[in-house]
Amino acid sequence: MQERNVHAPMACTVVEIAVGVGQVVRAGQTLLILEAMKMEHEVRADGDARVLEVAARAGELVAEGEVLLRLGPSTGGDAGPGPLPVVGERAGDGLAPRADLQDVRARHAATLDAARPAAIAKRHALGLRSARENLADLCDADSFVEYGALALAAQRSRRSLDDLIANTPADGMVTGIGGVNGALFGPERARCVVMAYDATVLAGTQGMRNHQKTDRMLGIALQQKLPVVLFAEGGGGRPGDVDMPIVAGLHVTTFASYARLSGQVPVVGIVAGRCFAGNAALLGCSDVIIATRDSNIGMGGPAMVEGGGLGRFAPEQIGPSDVQAANGVIDLLVDDEAAAVAAARRYLSFFQGALEGGAAPDAAALRRVLPDNRVRVYDMREAMRGVVDTGTLLELRAGFGVGIHTALARIDGRPIGLMASNPAHLGGAIDADAADKAARFMQLCNAHGLPLVSLVDTPGFMVGPEIETHAQVRHVSRMFVAAAHLRVPFFAVVLRKGYGLGAMAMTGGGFHAPVAIAAWPSGEFGAMGLEGAVRLGYRRELEALPEGAAREALFQRHLDEHIEKGRAMNMAATLEIDAVIDPAQTRDWLLQGMRSARVGPRSTQGIDPW
């Protein structure tokens, strides 16, 4: 190296001069440390050299381009005191972690299950899994990115930091973004916001920090249009967070933020164990609730019930799963948390896109679904399984509103919503619970763009003095209102009875409301049940005859006339329905219709929690 000057690269202050006159320096060795705008800059030698002159002084302010050092060739002359250590050099050539990195690693390790063996063992003794175990099962391998892991309960004014680190990791809630079903749909479509209250931390209660974490994740879910899965087990609000200067905490935005997602993205709530108060309020805003048989769900736990002067109850007495499945709170009742996670993955898959094809069931089996006797009951689920891809039928709310079955499924890999009359209950007549169930199901499919298929066999709406005590008029009318706002294509197939207003409700509001409506040859139609129509329309003639064979013969003759008139072939001839099809053609007929149908623009309307 020839003689050359080292110049100041900017206006700065000389903090340290790391070399002396006559010293031999090696390439990359630190010569000076300069400071500008509160940041230090190292000036290093660009080759081996000897320091001929030091023109700057420590603490001196120098201008850009000012000479700081003069260097010459490293050969010849005294080597001087030798090179000084390189300023900032890390031990082990950077292999040893810095102290601050070690602190972060230790804090993260404290949040993991391995750091709390006693708490996790207690959880396992109950036959339950930890929050992190559930999230690991739900999310694809190595896909989970955690948010807010270092949060602690807002109790520093009453507990030591070490205590909070050991006993309130992540403030009792694990949150992040992970992939679900990535192997089927790819990493982008698999992304979901996942959140799990940790029942081993302060009973899974809602602390101020985990409210903040929840709000952060819900905001990302809304902005990025990501599905949300919430493990909701826990006891509601937490009174012990004293660090926050609040009185009641009723200004938190978590509940509104969670509810705002309704109709915008799929929202799944999962419960094992106890879910009370605020945790249950979030759960109730979910599109679908998956719960284990040992779960208890209620708007107030034992303490709140007793505090309200309503008596003392064990947690197991409040909202047990058999009650909540029968009354419609639980959509999917499963055996344990592993089954709950599997159900959540399966449910979400219907909203992540189509798959390549699907195994078709035996089409000819549909010809054997209906008994020859026109008034004999049968299992409508056989017809449901007969039109969808094998193994894809996922029934929702099976224990509630049993007059109408509702399910998600696929036809040739395309996700659909499927609703069907249940002739085994009230002959297929629609009562208040069945109507509520069907109306909400239509909203669910409409919000997330799933075409609807309806299999119809109904004598109409249920009538009578008793049913009207259940507000039948309002409940059944929900089906018309929900159907009138559909943006998704609707297809209807009448298997047997298509009578009155109930049949119209099952076909989206009327027989010309669907994109297409067909009937099996067994279909029979009328403004009301044919037996009732004959008894009312021919009452005078029938009553003119004495009870017995003659009256019954007259009734049967008029009934046969009505049956003949209301045959599916005659309905198609008058264009009241679009087609009469071989039952074995049902799947292909639906598939052809869906290929040409379109989904309308997304609405901002939410899904009725009920």
- Divide the 610 residues of the chain into consecutive groups of 10 and give the mean pLDDT of each group: 90 95 93 95 93 94 96 68 44 70 92 95 96 97 95 90 92 97 95 96 91 95 97 90 80 92 97 95 97 96 86 92 97 98 98 93 97 94 98 97 98 97 96 98 97 97 94 96 96 96 97 97 87 80 85 84 86 96 97 92 86
CATH topology match: 4-89 vs 108-349: no
Q: Are 603 and 420 in contact (CB under 8 A)?
A: no
* Ordered DSSP codes for 236-279: SB-TT--SS--SS-TT--HHHHHHHTTTTS-EEEEE-SEEEHHH
154 token code pair: 């807002």
- Please check whether the domain covering 108-349 is classified as CATH 3.40.50.970: no
In one-letter notation, the amino acid at residue 369 is V
Residue 76: what pLDDT?
54
| Backbone region of residue 319 per phi and psi (left: phi > 0; alpha: psi in -120 to 50; beta: other values) | left
Q: Phi/psi of residue 27, each to 5°?
A: -55, 130
With b meaning 16 or more CB within 10 Å and e meaning fewer, what string describes 195-218? bbbbbbbbbbbbbbbbbbbbbebb
List Cβ<8 Å contacts ≥24 apart for 467-472.
467/431, 467/432, 470/431, 470/432, 471/432, 472/431, 472/432
**Please, which residues have CB within 8 angstroms of residue 319's CB and are 6 or more apart in sequence?**
280, 296, 297, 298, 329
> What ranges in 10-114 are assigned the alpha helix state H?
99-111
| Backbone region of residue 326 per phi and psi (left: phi > 0; alpha: psi in -120 to 50; beta: other values) | alpha
Distance from C-alpha of 517 to C-alpha of 254, rounded to nearest angstrom: 44
Angle between helices 472-484 and 432-448 (to 10 degrees): 20
**Please, which residues have CB within 8 angstroms of residue 463's CB and are 6 or more apart in sequence?**
429, 472
Q: Phi/psi of residue 498, each to 5°?
A: -130, 80
240 token code pair: 């012990």
Residue 1: what pLDDT?
61
With b meaning 16 or more CB within 10 Å and e meaning fewer, what string describes 56-92? beeeeebeeebebbbbbebeeeeeeeebeeebeeeee
Region 363-523+567-596: CATH code: 3.90.226.10
Distance from C-alpha of 608 to C-alpha of 610, rounded to nearest angstrom: 5
Q: Are 23 and 81 in contact (CB under 8 A)?
A: yes
Q: Classify burial at 242, counting beta carbons within 10 Å of its beta carbon; exposed 0-12, middle 13-18, buried 19 or more.
A: middle
Name the 3-class secondary structure at 17.
strand
Half-sphere exposure of 343 (CA within 13 A, CB side): 24
**Please, which residues have CB within 8 angstroms of residue 7's CB and are 6 or more apart in sequence?**
65, 66, 67, 68
- Please check whether the domain covering 4-89 is classified as CATH 3.90.800.10: no
Domain ranges, ordered by start, for the chain? 4-89, 108-349, 363-523+567-596, 528-566
Element (H, E) at 458: strand 452-458
Q: Are 14 and 36 in contact (CB under 8 A)?
A: no
Residue 93: what pLDDT?
53
First-residue to last-residue Cα distance in the chain? 82
Element (H, E) at 385: helix 380-387
